Chain A
Amino acid sequence: MKEAFISGYTDATFILAPLAMKLVEDGVPVKIVYLGHRDGTALMVHKDSKIFRIEDLRGRRIAVPNRYANQRFLIYKVLKERGMKLEDLDLVEMPPPDMPAALYARAVDGITSGEPFMGQTELDGYGRVLYYTKDVWPEFISCVLAVRQDVIDKHRGKVQDLVNGIAKSGVWLDQHMNNRMQAAQFVAKGYYNQNPRLLEHVLSKPPDRVKYTNLNVRRKDFEEIQQIGIESGILLKRLDFLEYADPSFVPPTATIEGFTFEDAASKAAASEKGLIR
């Protein structure tokens, strides 16, 4: 996906925040214009494991999506707060879709990535949550919308429409659980190719497991990510916020109204399961 983005095959992409910052560090002209979501990550251990606290991760093998994933930054942060280091763990890089099977087979002691793969281990009966991001790094940022600078320059209106669409969808999703249950039906089939039950689970248990509002790009959040990136040796240079971010599409003071949307088929499917009240 990174190569498709750099080569110009895609105009914009949802990408891990530190990876987008690393691209800018490497001289690729892209800007982070909006967030994909907040929170939405967990660290899962096997339900029978003896890991009950973050300190119990010492010496354990934990899978992260890759070195530029904010999930790795999150582990660095929680370890540091407890006087531990990344070297105290055996971190391995693994594509998130492979993580549930690796945990089930006990090839690793813990897995951490964005949903819905963490929730899948709960639904299948062998995963237990060690932490949700909302509990250890509230308002956690994982995926961001990055856009090539030439696209912003030539087609600012289209980028604005895209950002507005994401913002309004997010407000709609967070307005009512009924909307989330409706979205679980069509997103599972049309975009994720997953069982809707899995998305119903991660969008509702607990309701603040992942959030889709408050997605504007804030300097404070990214400077914190950059600081951890530099401390942990992943990012090499301290860039100015405006070198890798363009917060002008949704300023902090903007008021966003949600879409008025209803998909009859999805609503009917969710109603049949008793998910819509």
Chain B
Amino acid sequence: MSLRKTLVVGGVAWVALISGLHSWLNLGLFRKTGPQASTTLKVGFLPVT
């Protein structure tokens, strides 16, 4: 494989990996949220009365 082809393939793979991780970890794209995600409600609270 030529250097040019290696760089292009490597670059595309890197962008795809980073985009996938960003979508998963930051945007929650593949994560179920809301009441459909579980059988219980997720309730937020602070330790103040």
Measuring CB to CB, which residues of chain A are less than 8 angstroms from any residue of chain B?
A: 1, 4-5, 7-15, 36-37, 40-41, 96, 113-117, 142-143, 145, 148, 150-151, 154-155, 158-159, 162, 191-194, 202, 210
| Interface of chain B residues 1 through 49 with chain A (CB within 8 A) | 33-35, 40-49
Docked pose: A25 CA to B24 CA in angstroms: 31
User: In whole Å, how far is B2's beta carbon from the nearest beta carbon of chain A?
Assistant: 46
Q: State whether A114 touches B35 (Cβ < 8 A).
A: no
Q: A8-B34, A11-B34 are in contact. Are A117 and B48 (CB under 8 A)?
A: yes
Within 8 Å CB of A116, what residues of B?
Answer: 48-49
Q: State whether B46 touches A8 (Cβ < 8 A).
A: no
Within 8 Å CB of B44, what residues of A?
Answer: 1, 4-5, 10, 12-15
Q: State whether A158 touches B35 (Cβ < 8 A).
A: yes
Q: State whether A191 touches B47 (Cβ < 8 A).
A: yes
Other-chain contact of A150, B34, B40, B43, B49 (Cβ < 8 Å): B34
Within 8 Å CB of B41, what residues of A?
Answer: 11-12, 151, 155, 158-159, 162
Within 8 Å CB of B49, what residues of A?
Answer: 36-37, 40-41, 114-116, 142-143, 202, 210
Other-chain contact of B33, A8, A41, A117 (Cβ < 8 Å): A8
Q: State whether B45 touches A13 (Cβ < 8 A).
A: yes
Docked pose: A202 CA to B48 CA in angstroms: 11
User: In whole Å, how far is B40's beta carbon from the nearest beta carbon of chain A?
Assistant: 8
Of chain A, the residue at the smallest CB distance from B34 is: A8
User: In whole Å, how far is B18's beta carbon from the nearest beta carbon of chain A?
Assistant: 22
Within 8 Å CB of A155, what residues of B?
Answer: 35, 41
Other-chain contact of B47, A13, A40, A193 (Cβ < 8 Å): A193
Of chain A, the residue at the smallest CB distance from B33 is: A8
Docked pose: A193 CA to B47 CA in angstroms: 8
Docked pose: A110 CA to B34 CA in angstroms: 40
Q: State whether A13 touches B43 (Cβ < 8 A).
A: yes
Q: What are 24 A-B pairs at a CB distance below 8 A?
A: A1-B44, A1-B46, A4-B44, A11-B34, A11-B41, A12-B44, A13-B45, A14-B43, A14-B44, A14-B45, A15-B44, A96-B48, A115-B48, A115-B49, A116-B48, A117-B48, A143-B49, A145-B43, A151-B35, A158-B35, A159-B41, A162-B43, A192-B47, A202-B49
Docked pose: A52 CA to B43 CA in angstroms: 40
Other-chain contact of A9, B33, B46, B47 (Cβ < 8 Å): B33
Within 8 Å CB of A202, what residues of B?
Answer: 49
